[in-house]
Structures are given as C-alpha cells and as structure tokens.
Structure 1
Amino acid sequence: MSVEFIGYVSAQEQTEVVGPNGPVVDPEYIASSALIQERGGFDRALIAFHSTSPDSLLVAQHAASATERLGLLIAHRPGFAAPTLAARQFATLDQLTGGRIAMHVITGGNDRELQADGDHLTKAERYSRAAEYIRIVRQEWQESAPFDHHGEYYQVRGAHSDVRPVRTAGIPIYFGGASEEAIAVTGKYADGYALWGEPLKEAGELVGRVKDAAARHGRQIRFSVSFRPIIEKTEELAWERAASIQALLEKRQEEEKGPTGIGLDRAGRKPTSENLPTNEGSRRLQKIAARSNRHDERLWTGVAQATGGRWNSTSLVGTADQVAESLLRYYRIGIETFLIRGFDPLSDALTYGSELIPRVRALVEREERCGR
C-alpha cells in the first residue's frame, strides 16, 4: 500500500505541554516509545536534531535496537560532520538495522540557534552547502572506486567507503523548506519532501511547485505532511482538548523564567525577536495562523500561533473518523506520507495506532481500489 506513517521518538518525554520527564537521555523512554509505534503500525519514526539535543544518530541506534521493523528517519544537519564520514555513519547503521534508515537533511530555521554549533553561514549559503553535501554523500554510497571532489564547501581526495547501504539505490533522503532555494535542492537531490500541515489549498500549491522542480530533472518526489492530531470520542471533546492545550502552553510560556525557563522544548518557547524562526515554512504558518485558528473544518493553528509557527505545530482536530477523512484529502493532492505526533506522546501514539492509522489505510485502500 502506498500510504505510510512516520511517528516521533525523542530522547526524553516532553512536548510543549508535557514534561520534560526523566533524564535528558532516557533509554527506557526511547525504547518504549519506539515499540509502541512499531506495534501501532507506524512505518518510521523521526529522530529530531537541535543544537542542544542528544545526538540523533545515537538515539536512533537505541530505538533500532529495541525494535525489529520500525524504520528511523534521522534528522541530520550538513556542515557539522564531513559528508564522507556521515555517509559511512548512516550506511553502518543501515547495515546494523537491516535497511531501516532514512536521512532527513535539515538546514535550520533560526540563525542564532545554528551559531551555537559554530555555523555562521547565511540561509542561501546553507542550502548551497546542503546540495553539495548530498552529492558527496550519495557518491560515497555509490562509487566503487575512490573519487575526488572539488567544490565550494568541500575538497575531497580519494574518498571511498567499504560500507554501503543495504539497498543499491542508497538510503532515502528527505528534505524540507518552502523557500525557492529549498525547493530547488529538493527537486534535484531529494527522494522525499516534507512540509508542515497547511490548509489544503496552500499544501496543494506547494506540492505542485516541488513536482515542477523535480520534473525539470526527470525525477519524482514522495511527499510527507506533518500534523499533531487531536482525537477524542466526539468532535466537541476534541476541540475542548485543543483549547486546553493552547491554554496550558500559554500558561507555561508566561511562567518561563530566564534562558532555560521551565524546560520547555524549543518548539514550546514563547516567540521573541531572538528565537522567532525566520525560515519560509515558519513564515507561511505565521501568516496562516494570523488569518484564523481554524481552516478546512478541522485544521487548527492554535499552537502555531503561540509558538510563532515553530516546527510541526498544526493539528487536525476531531474524531478518528473525521481526522482520517481529512488525511484522505491530503492523499488526494499527492501526499502519501503522514508524519503524526501528539502533545501527549505515548498516549497519543497508542490512539493513532489503534484508531487513526487503520482507518486511513482502509480509506486509501478503498480509494485505490475504486480508482483502478
């Protein structure tokens, strides 16, 4: 079946309104979260990356050791490890897991946050570097003989790897970003394009732009959209929960003191002139949220409003049947992958596995059967 689901595994239990609970690196939480999602029918789980977070590759390795089938989509920033080294690291983990690894290349949405790791390039330069980085990574996976590379950001002589990915085609590479630079890199180099949850009209337009960019290189791209589904037994209860999430988030933001506050993750922090994301994807969410906190019946932007459009922050709100029908509408505009994570991580993952994922798969199967 063409539809797939990506979950989310973090190093400790925390969201905008939960935690942080446990140690910064909580092996038991990582394992239990990964297992719940594997048993719930998720195909992959995203492991995020941030300038202050535990290492995404190592967290993914632990999640993989606790599971048998769950794929890991590992966020990775180009520029901090040499592309030849990163290629070997990902290929090694791919071999250890039997081909369960994918790479999500991220360029970063906040210049100040990137500078914490010593990256002072402009956004345009980061995209240019990312393109060169991906070229070298793929070459290391595919070339049978040592190769040289003489580029703007990297100079490589005699590069070669004894370890290759499990699949001949290499490890799938996802990319994101709504700027023209991001779409150009996606169209030429990426296997998958990840967009945040926008109204159907805006999402469809973005999908069309990326398809056009890929077509110019004779390529096809798989599309992923990210949501934070809020599911209850009735629609009224679901909207009540959404309101309570926003109220709790705003209360925590007001109580936050000093640079580290009360431990909210970066997605939960109150937007300021210093931390407000300036990437095009966040700007799009900021504009969408400013128009209204509800779109297309059940797309809710309350958390996006409170956080300045940070990361995956929009929700589909309703019963499991209603949210499944909404996801089907995104499938109809060409999106076959859904990245879903909750505000209460473990409880919501259980609900998605038992209530939402089976419904969406059944709807898509019926859609494909009727379309033949």
Structure 2
Amino acid sequence: MSVEFIGYVSAREQTEIVGPYGPEVDPAYIKSTALLHERGGFDRVLVAFHSHSPDSLLVAQHAALATSKLGVLVAHRPGFAAPTLAARQFATLDALTGGRVAIHVITGGNDIELQADGDHLTKAQRYARAAEYIRIVRREWQSGPAFDHDGTFYRLRGAHAAIRPRQEGSVPVYFGGASDEAIAVTAELADGYALWGEPLEQAAELVNRVRNAASLHGRNLRFSISFRPILAATEEEAWARAAAIEATLLERQQREQQAQQSGDIALDSAGTRPTDTTLPTNEGSRRLQAIAARGARHDERLWTGVAQATGGRWNSTSLVGTPEQVAQSLLQYYRLGIHTFLIRGFDPVPDTVLFGRELIPRVRALIAQEDALAHHAA
C-alpha cells in the first residue's frame, strides 16, 4: 500500500489555542486551507462532525470543489439521516468531485452530546445501528435491483439509487474505536481503521487486534493514525513550542472557566477542560487518558500534554522534534502496517504549510527508500 497523508479543514479558523476567528462558516477560510493542503501534497482532508458544528458534508463539498485533486474524508454519524439518503448524498458528491470522497463513520464518544441531536441509544445499540447502516449504504451503492430490508433499526421497501459512486466498488469507508464492538464492525464492514496517536507498543497491539479480526472475514484493511506534529529547527525549540502550546491552552481554559462562572459567554470550545458530563467515555479516549496519566512523554517524542488537558476528546497527541526526527518516528508507525497519517497542527495555517514543505516530502522519501530496500531484498 502507498503512503497517504490526510489533513484537516474546518468551517473556520479554530484550534485549542487559536481563534475562533471569522464567522461560524467562513467560505474563504475553507477554500484557502483546502488549497494549502492540495499544494502541500496532502491526499485528503478530514472534515469533522459534532452535534453543534456546521454540516460536515456541505463543508467538505465546498473544500472539494475549491480544489482539483484533493480528496475529502467526511465524518458522518449514522442514524441522523436515512442510510438510503446518505448513500445518494455521498455518491452524488463523489460524482461531482471525480471520485475524491471517503467517509469516516463515527458513533459518538459522549452520550450527552449525542442527545443534543435526539440520539438516546446505548453504546452497544449505536454500534449495532452503524453496522446495519453501512450494510444498507453499500447495497444502495451497488445500484442493483430495488431491494427490501427488515432490520432492527431500518425497514425499507423498494430501495434503489439511480446514482452510483464514481469510484469503482464504493466510496471508501473508515471506522474507528478501540472497543470490541467497534473492532467487530470495522473487521466486517470498513475499508480502513483509524486510531489516535498512541505509543508504538499500544498502537501495534491495536493494529494486530483489528488485523486479526478482519482476517476472520478474509479482509485486509488500511490503517490510519492521527497526530498533531510540533516541528521546529531544533529538538529543543520543538519541545519549547510544545510547552508554550500547553501553557496557552491552560491559560485559555482558566479564562473560560472564569467567564462561565461570571455568566459570560465561553471564550472557546475547542480546548475546553472537560467536566464530568463532557468527559468522553469511548474506549479510544479512555486509552488516551490512561496514556497521558502515565506521563507526558512516551517513546522518543510522543507528547500527551494536550490530550491530558482536554481529556483525550479527539486526536490530541503530538510528535515533537525536527522535521527529520518526526519523519523517522512516522516511519516506525509505517513499519507497524500503518500507511495513512492524519496530521494537523495547533496553528492551522502555518502548520499546514510547514508540514507540506518539511515533513511530508521527508516521510515519503524515507518510505520509498524503505520499500525499495525491501523489494530488493525480496
């Protein structure tokens, strides 16, 4: 498998330490950051989904139509749109973009957040629904004869789509989650498995679990891992930047807490310190919480300072060092069988430029050299 790089495009400029700037949906920002990723050598960009955020499918459409080659990985929660409708929506976008669409199906990491959209299912029920949902979506993409479906969550009569994905077979489907339920759905139905950045030993264990589960279905998956690289000209400067990011985040959290106590509007939501009701309960976040509790540094340059401050609510672990050092670290994950790297920065615009100029070419060169040596040895 060839190496793939995925970036991140949001509706406006905002991270744990930056912004929010601009309107809630900033078309110019979406377009400019999508173009930066395309020119920087990224293969795709992720567009996230939250119960309070702008619609991921529409943001992804704007990003894709502003570019000519960049793919989009659209986060999508099953259950809020009929699977037959979602199948046609994604097939339509795939046709409009010339086959540049992939889906990251997410079941949600916090029950209370899901209830904001009217979802009151248990975790086990959500995974069961996701499996049924993906099966229906895939069948609709086949555009064969009209079909009926009688399942636990959906009853269909005469389902049929006149639009098929541009990509041969179907739109690629990614899935994540470290629970047994998540791995079972991934093994049977997904094309790719996404995990958050963990130390090499833990990442290898998770990859092997998923790989073994998929082999029972005769399937071979693509693996993706997410990091927030922190780069600088020297290792010392990179660690100093990590410390500055953590200090800025903690200061913002303190100001936000004071604003909430005084009844003012919260300053920031991206890096808010979690409470008992907002702390994610999914297994992937629990793994990050446990890793961060053991210490801030792991392996040579894995850093969990932001994961600890935010409760591991999303991809929040970093690889810290010079571009060459971080590239070498990513090579170690490649050797585990991980061929997709989702990388995004804490300062989104300059970090995207920096990754495209200094990191991505180094990683591609190291992997090409490694693959050539392995081919020669074989």
Distance 1:198 1:260 in 2: 37
Which of 290, 308, 326 lines up with 2:293 in the alignment?
A: 290
Structure 2 residue 302 is the aligned partner of structure 1 residue 264: no
Written as runs of structure 1 = structure 2, the 5 A alignment for 1:231-310 is 231-256=231-256, 257-258=259-260, 261-266=265-270, 268-310=271-313
Give CA-to-partner distance per residue, 1:20-66, whole Å, 9 cap, x none. Answer: 00000000000000000000000000000000100001001110111
What are the equivalent positions in structure 2 for 1:1-372 lying under 5 Å apart?
Answer: 2-256=2-256, 257-258=259-260, 261-266=265-270, 268-372=271-375
Q: CA deviation at 1:261?
A: 4.8
DSSP 3-state at the match of 2:169 = coil
SS state of the match for residue 158, structure 1?
A: strand
Residues 1:260 and 1:209: Cα distance change in structure 2 (over 3 Å): farther
Give the secondary-structure state (helix, strand or coil) at the position aligned to 2:157: strand
How far the C-alpha of 1:262 sits from its partner, in A, is: 3.5
In percent, how many aligned pairs have the same letter? 71
2:143·2:162 contact (CA, 8 Å) conserved in 1? no
CA distance in 2, matches of 1:261, 1:322: 41
TM-score with structure 1 setting the length: 0.99
Contact in 1 for aligned 2:255/2:267 (Cα 8 Å)? no
**Alignment gaps of 5+ in structure 1:** none
Runs of at least 4 residues of structure 1 off by over 3 A? 259-263
SS at match of 1:282: helix
In structure 2, how many angstroms separate the alpha carbons of the residues matched to 1:121 and 1:358?
44
Gapped regions of structure 2 (runs ≥ 5): none
- Distance in 1 of aligned mates of 2:215 and 2:253: 44
Contact kept, 8 Å, 1:14 with 1:265, in 2: the verdict is no
In structure 2, distance between residues paired with 1:9 and 1:287? 29
Task: Name the SS for the 1:193 alignment partner.
Answer: strand
Provide the rounded CA distance (Å) in 2 between the counterparts of 1:241 and 1:332: 28
Residue deviations 1:230-277, cap 9 Å, x none? 0000000000000010111011111112388544234x1101101000
Q: Answer yes or no: is the 8 Å Cα contact 1:227–1:312 preserved in 2.
A: yes
Change (3 A) 1:196 1:261: farther
Distance in 1, matches of 2:74 and 2:140, equals 18
The 2-side partners of 1:293 and 1:7 are apart by 24
8 Å CA contact retained: 1:299, 1:317: yes
Q: What TM-score do you get using the length of structure 2 for normalisation?
A: 0.97
Residue aligned with 1:107, SS? coil
| Helix, strand or coil at the partner of 1:149 | strand
CA contact (8 A) 2:94 2:167 kept: no
The residue identity in structure 2 corresponding to 1:213 is A
